[in-house]
A and B are shown apart, each in its own frame.
Chain A
Amino acid sequence: MAEITMKNIVKRYGDGFQAVNDVSLDIADGEFMILVGPSGCGKSTLLRMIVGLEDITSGDMMIGGVRVNKKAPRDRNLAMVFQNYALYPHLTVFENIAFPLRLRKAPESEVRQRVNEAAEMLELTEHLGRRPANLSGGQRQRVAMGRAIVRKADAFLFDEPLSNLDAKLRGQMRTEIARMQRRLGTTTVYVTHDQTEAMTLGDRIAVLRKGVLQQVGSAHQLYEEPANLFVAGFIGSPPMNFVPGRIADGRIETPFGTVAPTSERITRIGDRDLVILGFRPEYFEDYSLVPAGARTRGHTFTVDVDVTEWLGNELYAYVPYEAPEEVTRQLGELERELDSEQMRTQLVVALDPASRIRSGTKAELWFDPERMHVFDAATGDNLTRDPDRTFDDDNVHAGVRTE
């Protein structure tokens, strides 16, 4: 058991490329921390610096209160699950799991007992005599986890452990990892680029972009109070819609009409010539389905619906709109960074599946202006964010011990 503290961690490669830039992060004892970001954001490098496979250029890496910058991986007592499992193909499943204990020259009886315990927990008991080549992907994944568990390590580190599995198995293994972590209560750092894993697994999520930490918080905080355009666009699927806007005399001009929100979080911004407004797809609704009481509270506008996608539990509608050149350019850049290919300026709105709106028709949509996010057009900072907002169930399903 140990807490992991990073102070101003920097990783600069020989060619001058800065993979991790001044990251400071506290991971509490027993906490499940997710590192997430698009590929190349430095999340794996950061993880490898924790475990010691990558040198730290500058900064302090503390594990359990001890500075470990110069310690070899084997002296850090951490367990790591690799993306491609890295099982030893010449050893049986039993010996694979027992490997760390064998290196430590643990007595045979202890090895046998611990491996059997881990195997039972991971339902590998009947496969102990087999070799990794004869196992399925999910089983290999569990062997890799077994090798981590058996160590009684101070912390678990996962490097995109599920990215090689098919979608169904990924869901199963996700719950299995969550269950295992909760049962063992071991500090865990988990790297992923999959936001479903990020949202569901961890106690807290750290979002990285080009080696810079963007925001750390619970899934709720990231979703409801994103720090900037990047986090807002990265978390959530389909992603948040960004549209240009102008604030004049407390009224906000949007491509679909002018609104006048009254809540303090928006009015405190003051007048600005150009801002970027953020709307989650679910902020919109088909006007005909909005309860009469709410209709007057929101803003209603008419649009041409380009395409609709009915998914049974939801209906996505795509609405093109015109945007000024400057905004289009910035949004295009953001989308490239987020690995998305949506180049045209369009709204994605998630409607009630009962809606009668269909492709190629005109539709009346409704939204509540009080919910929108306002971002600075130049810096991308979220001007409406309340960084201290906490959510009731932040720590409930994550299982953090609050005492």
Chain B
Amino acid sequence: MVGQRASRWWTTGGLLILVWALFPLLWMVSLSFKDPNTFRSQTPTFFPSKWVWTNYQTVFSDALFTSALRNSIGISLIATLLSVVIAMFAAYAIARMDYPGKKFLLSMALAIAMFPQAALVGPLFNMWRSLGIYDTWIGLIIPDLTFALPLSIWTMSAFFRQIPWEMEQAAQVDGATAWQAFRRVIVPLAAPGVFTTAILTFFFCWNEFLLAISLTSTNRARTVPAALSFFTGASQFQSPITAIMAASVVVTIPVVLLVLAFQRRIMAGLTAGAVKG
């Protein structure tokens, strides 16, 4: 009896949180379909009285958005790839090897992750300008990596630690070199961890705002989160709100798709069956 009542409470609580979290999203979608000229009507409605695609047409015909989308995709993918590859080796070393300074390295990584980005913006701005990488892809990828790597290393070393030592030793006895054991046994086993890390890193880079707005000035390297703040409506007299919402919906879609596509990979513990369970 108690259990039933408790589980009903959990359901109600969960639903409340879900509504709380989804409401802004729904509001965003709804706004993106409203007519930009009339959405501030006298009698506001939650859902549009007339569904229109004009906002989407506006954002996709705007060079600011399309180039920002291209920049976002490019920068996020490159930063993610680099971060995952580097973090994979670093995490393996941290999980498997013993060397002096390991603790220090780990705590430094954590410290960097904790470091307030805002404090870095000024110096980076000056440095990037003198180095000539201000307003370029590489100028964003480097700081993105700096902040994404600690996260990647920490998540991945946790995954590597879960892989039983014996797997690697068995591979070595079977005739594998250290590299073969890593590539043919450890990496496939760590795949869920690699995917999880890759997705987390991608989100981080995709959503990054502060650096993107501070270290770019033109369409060359400006990413979507930064570009959104520069949005204007179709005309000077039109509110850009609905168009910004349409752009937001567009950049939210890849995130949702990624999670849906990989959630099973993330969840699946691939190590099941490796050892007696």
Q: Which residues of A contact B (CB under 8 A)?
A: 51-53, 72-74, 78-80, 82-90, 99-100, 103-104, 131-135, 137, 140, 147, 151, 164
CB-defined contacts of B191 to chain A, threshold 8 Å: 90
CB-defined contacts of A151 to chain B, threshold 8 Å: 174-175
- Contact: A140 with B276, CB < 8 Å? yes
Q: Whole-angstrom distance between the alpha carbons of A132 and B185 in the complex?
A: 14
- Contact: A87 with B176, CB < 8 Å? no
- Contact: A88 with B274, CB < 8 Å? yes
Q: Whole-angstrom distance between the alpha carbons of A399 and B174 in the complex?
A: 28
CB-defined contacts of A86 to chain B, threshold 8 Å: 164, 166-167, 169-170, 274-275
- Contact: B164 with A100, CB < 8 Å? no
Nearest CB on A from B127, distance (A): 44
CB-defined contacts of A135 to chain B, threshold 8 Å: 273
Most chain B CB neighbours (cut-off 10 Å) among A52, A80, A90: A90
* B180 in contact (CB, < 8 A): yes
Known: A84-B164, A137-B276. A89 touches B270 (CB 8 A): yes
CB-defined contacts of B214 to chain A, threshold 8 Å: none
CB-defined contacts of A79 to chain B, threshold 8 Å: 173-174
Show 26 A/B contacts (Cβ-Cβ < 8 Å), sorted by A: A52-B173, A53-B173, A73-B172, A73-B173, A74-B174, A74-B176, A78-B173, A82-B166, A82-B170, A84-B164, A84-B166, A86-B164, A86-B170, A86-B274, A86-B275, A89-B189, A89-B271, A90-B188, A90-B189, A90-B191, A99-B174, A103-B175, A135-B273, A137-B276, A147-B170, A151-B175
Picked from B175, B177, B189, B275, the residue with its CB within 8 Å of the CB of A100 is B175
Q: Whole-angstrom distance between the alpha carbons of A74 and B191 in the complex?
A: 25
Picked from A73, A84, A134, the residue with its CB within 8 Å of the CB of B276 is A84
Q: Whole-angstrom distance between the alpha carbons of A99 and B191 in the complex?
A: 19
Q: Whole-angstrom distance between the alpha carbons of A135 and B184 in the complex?
A: 22
Q: Whole-angstrom distance between the alpha carbons of A72 and B171 in the complex?
A: 12
Q: Whole-angstrom distance between the alpha carbons of A164 and B275 in the complex?
A: 10
* 19 additional contacts (CB under 8 A) given A86-B166, A88-B189, A147-B174: A52-B172, A52-B173, A53-B172, A74-B172, A74-B174, A74-B176, A80-B170, A83-B166, A86-B170, A87-B274, A88-B167, A99-B171, A100-B175, A103-B184, A104-B175, A131-B273, A133-B272, A133-B273, A151-B175
Q: Whole-angstrom distance between the alpha carbons of A104 and B171 in the complex?
A: 12
- Contact: B173 with A74, CB < 8 Å? yes
Number of residues from B at the complex interface, CB < 8 A: 25
What is the chain A residue whose CB lies nearest that of B271?
A89
CB-defined contacts of A85 to chain B, threshold 8 Å: 275-276
Known: A82-B166, A82-B170, A86-B169. A103 touches B176 (CB 8 A): yes
Q: Write the B169-201 contact mask toward A (1 if CB under 8 angstroms, else 0).
A: 111111111001000110011010000000000
Nearest CB on A from B207, distance (A): 32
Nearest CB on A from B264, distance (A): 15
Nearest CB on B from A92, distance (A): 11
Closest 10 CB pairs of A and B: A133-B273, A86-B170, A86-B166, A84-B275, A100-B174, A89-B274, A132-B273, A90-B188, A74-B175, A73-B172
Q: Whole-angstrom distance between the alpha carbons of A82 and B174 in the complex?
A: 12
Known: A100-B175, A103-B175, A151-B174. A89 touches B272 (CB 8 A): yes
- Contact: A72 with B164, CB < 8 Å? no
Nearest CB on B from A138, distance (A): 11
What is the chain B residue whose CB lies nearest that of A103?
B175
- Contact: B172 with A82, CB < 8 Å? no
Nearest CB on A from B102, distance (A): 15
What is the chain B residue whose CB lies nearest that of A51?
B173
CB-defined contacts of B177 to chain A, threshold 8 Å: 74
Q: Whole-angstrom distance between the alpha carbons of A84 and B184 in the complex?
A: 20
CB-defined contacts of B167 to chain A, threshold 8 Å: 86, 88
Q: Whole-angstrom distance between the alpha carbons of A52 and B180 in the complex?
A: 17
CB-defined contacts of B275 to chain A, threshold 8 Å: 84-86
Nearest CB on A from B171, distance (A): 8
CB-defined contacts of A137 to chain B, threshold 8 Å: 276
Q: Whole-angstrom distance between the alpha carbons of A205 and B185 in the complex?
A: 35
Q: Whole-angstrom distance between the alpha carbons of A131 and B276 in the complex?
A: 13
Q: Whole-angstrom distance between the alpha carbons of A135 and B185 in the complex?
A: 19
- Contact: A88 with B176, CB < 8 Å? no
Nearest CB on B from A270, distance (A): 52
CB-defined contacts of B175 to chain A, threshold 8 Å: 74, 100, 103-104, 151
CB-defined contacts of A140 to chain B, threshold 8 Å: 273, 276
What is the chain A residue whose CB lies nearest that of B188?
A90
CB-defined contacts of A51 to chain B, threshold 8 Å: 173
Q: Write the B247-275 contact mask toward A (1 if CB under 8 angstroms, else 0).
A: 00000000000000000000000111111
CB-defined contacts of A103 to chain B, threshold 8 Å: 174-176, 180, 184
- Contact: B164 with A88, CB < 8 Å? no
Q: Whole-angstrom distance between the alpha carbons of A87 and B272 in the complex?
A: 11
Q: Whole-angstrom distance between the alpha carbons of A244 and B174 in the complex?
A: 52
CB-defined contacts of B180 to chain A, threshold 8 Å: 103
Nearest CB on B from A152, distance (A): 12
- Contact: A80 with B173, CB < 8 Å? yes
Nearest CB on A from B172, distance (A): 4
Nearest CB on B from A314, distance (A): 33
Most chain A CB neighbours (cut-off 10 Å) among B164, B171, B184, B276: B276
Known: A74-B175, A84-B164, A103-B176. A132 touches B274 (CB 8 A): yes
Q: Whole-angstrom distance between the alpha carbons of A131 and B277 in the complex?
A: 14
